[in-house]
Amino acid sequence: MIRILFFARVREEVGQARLEMPLPAGITTLGTLRDHLAAQGEGWSYLSRCPNLRTALNQELAPPETPLREGDEVAFFPPVTGG
């Protein structure tokens, strides 16, 4: 299983804050997981439309080519705006 978290506008667009699922067959990186989810229709397409979408793996920023493993925590979110 992998855990997937969504934050801020990404969370609102996809309609959920978290998701646990088996690592889908053929999905090996953060980028391919994003594409897989973005193809689920409705709000999910925001994952491909969000400008400068950020991805994190196990709570650290990580680029789309980062490999995924069983048990990972993945997060998708917009550029941050704290401070």
Q: Which residues, 21 to 50, sit near other proteins by CB under 8 A?
A: none
Selected from 3, 5, 23, 35, the binder of other proteins by CB under 8 A is: 5
Q: Is 78 in the site for other proteins (CB under 8 A)?
A: yes
How crowded is residue 4: how many other Cβ atoms within 10 Å of its Cβ? 19
The contacts found for 55-58 with CB under 8 angstroms, 24 or more apart, are 55/30, 55/31, 57/30
Structural element, H or E, at residue 24 = none
- Find the angle CA(33)-CA(37)-CA(73) to the nearest 5 degrees: 50
Identity of the residue numbered 76: F
Binding segment for other proteins (CB under 8 A), chosen from 23-31, 37-45, 51-59, 63-71, is 51-59
Nearer of residues 26 and 83 to other proteins, judged by Cβ: 83
Single out the residue of 22, 26, 49, 59 in contact with other proteins (rule: CB under 8 A): 59
In the complex, which residues of this chain contact other proteins (CB under 8 A)? 5, 7-9, 52, 56, 59-61, 75, 77-83
